[in-house]
Amino acid sequence: MLQTGTPAPDFALRDKDDKEVTLSSFKGKKVVLYFYPRDNTPGCTRQACAYALAYSKFKKLGVVVIGISKDSEASHQKFAEKNSLPFILLSDPERKAIEAYGVWQEKKNYGKVSMGVVRSTFIIDENGTVEKVMPKVKPDTNADEVLAYLTGGDQ
């Protein structure tokens, strides 16, 4: 997984509307980049809805919120519509960004070992450097923890 202080790997991925989005296009803005396993699963839905609920606060701070998973653009579109998600969702079926950020890892679930996306959040500063790494975040508290960090409540 990437470390604090390293340059954030740029990427070019498609959003739910099939438009290409690059990380470098947000230079000059702080970016919250969160990786999650899958659309429409209970934990991922709670996490996305928590970001949606707090979105006006992120916007007020001038922070861009981006969620990334392996799901297709069509899946993201349905997920965003169903849950009224106002932020960017990017599709990474080839795991380019997922692997570049080191979140494709071995996971254990009920004794079974498999590879998958470890729910993780990265705060990228205005210069494109990883400012904070939050590995193995909890879906219910991730958005609030990020906001607390951004507003100086948790350094």
Active-site annotation holder among 44, 85, 103, 130: 44
Contact present, 87 and 51 (Cβ < 8 Å): yes
| DSSP codes, 88-102 | EEEE-TT-HHHHHTT
Neighbours of 51 (CB within 10 A): 27
Pairing of strands 130-134, 63-69: unpaired
Minimal CA–CA distance to 65: which of 29, 103, 39?
29
Active site residue 44: yes
Active site residues: 44
